[in-house]
Amino acid sequence: MTEFFRTKPRGVHERIYHALLRLYPRDFRQEFGDAMTEFFHDRLARTRAAHPIAGPFRLWPHVLIDFARNALPARLDSTLRAVRRSRQRVVAGRTPTIRDSRRKDWMLTTILQDMRYAARGLTSKPAFSAIVLATLTLGIGATVAIFSVINGILLRPLPYAEPRRLMLIEQVDPYGTVSEPEFADYKRQARSLERVAAIAYSSANLTGGDDEPERVRLARVSDGFFQILGVATQLGRYFTSDEDKPNATTVIILSYRLWQRRYGADSTIIGKDVVVNGNPRMVVGVMPQRFDYPSSSIDMWVPLRLNYDSLWTRDNHYLSVIARRAPNVTFPSSVAELNAITRTWTREYPDTYAPDKPVQVKAAEFEDALVGKSKPYLYALLGAVAFVLLIACVNVANLLPASSQVAREST
């Protein structure tokens, strides 16, 4: 048989993909086989670049779902088209060969027989059919639900530009968060970091318009916060560096959820004022629906506006810090540089930092910081649910011979 691929597999994953492609009809493989193989190769390369070890294991669930959604319909469509062509040839007076006729008739007859047999089996034993369907529904439903959660949290890449370069910077207890002067030192001295931004949290009263006043959650962010994450706005723009300075024009960026709920997705809201804590703030942007950092409860972002010429005391720790590493800089080297910066504080500010308790940086890559602690529990939950599905399938398999035995005895 002639091979339908011109491109040869380049690894074990592509060989497996080649084998799975045989689920599609032959004419489909001849037309699209090479293109699908190249596309799979590109997806595999990108996933490996983002996750060198776990990349293929993250990709295969999506690939198998694609096959389940597309291969069977394509195979059925090919069979139906073949049957229609055979009938057209008969109508046109062109008698198909005996071999082709037998082959098409056999396929169509097999499909119709299977459908009739399944329908007859379901209707002849309604109670048994209900038990089987309920068992499989519970097992499959629970597995799909948990897999959807894990796919959204663990398998799907973070919705940020080059997420492997993002990191969260904290300090080992008792500090945890970072003070304003410490953030300024990181921003000025860390050469391994391309950008550094600080975040503070607060609440505010939102008034104005015909709607009732409401309490909203604010994130105060320093210059470069949105550029670090690399997510484009739904409407408008980011804050500028001048708007992060003291006494600048008061501006605000809305979350997609608040923009939809309170302002009815008004596309002309950019440039209008909203009243926050009694003060008008001009709306300069709306973030997209998928953006929910640092929390899904955040309704608005406003400039942090630190005065770097007269920062507060080093004892006032309240800032969370995120950063984007410079290209080709590793995570351990960035942490080492940050710890080197903190060690100088013991000499320069002995009244604030005790020599026997130096400040130590506790940094984490973004993915580990967001979902790292929940990974083993989620995977364990997926394994448990998959085991429940296995038990459901085994129970159904045990019910089938028992049902057949009862039917024989009753006759």
- Strands 361-365 and 166-171 turn out to be antiparallel
> 219: which residues sit within 8 A by CB, 6+ positions away?
199, 200, 201, 294, 295, 298, 300, 301, 302
Whole-number pLDDT of residue 2: 41
Whole-number pLDDT of residue 102: 55
Phi and psi, residue 332, nearest 5°: -60, -40
With H, G, I as helix, E, B as strand and everything else as coil, classify residue 217.
Answer: strand
Burial of 10 (0-12, 13-18, 19+ CB in 10 A): exposed
Whole-number pLDDT of residue 237: 95
Whole-number pLDDT of residue 1: 36
Task: Give alpha helix (H) positions in 92-173.
Answer: 98-124, 126-150
The vertex-378 CA angle with 377 and 379, nearest 5°, equals 95
Structure tokens at 28: 């489909």
| Locus of tokens 């942490």 | 335
Helix pair angle (375-410, 126-150), 10° resolution = 170
CB of 128 closer than 8 Å to CB of 403? yes
- Strands 300-303 and 214-221 turn out to be parallel
| Residue 349 CB-half CA count within 13 A | 16
Enter the pTM of the model.
0.60
Residues in the chain where the model's pLDDT stays below 50: 1-5, 94-95
Q: How far is CA 2 from CA 5, 6, 65, 272, 291, in A?
A: 9, 11, 28, 67, 50
Distance, C-alpha 240 to centroid of its chain: 29
Q: Which secondary-structure segment (H or E) carries 49?
A: helix 26-50
Q: How far apart are CA 270 and CA 276, in angstroms?
A: 16
Annotate 167-203 with b (16+ C-beta within 10 A) or e (fewer): bbbbbeeebebbbbbbbbbbbeebebbbbbbbbbeee
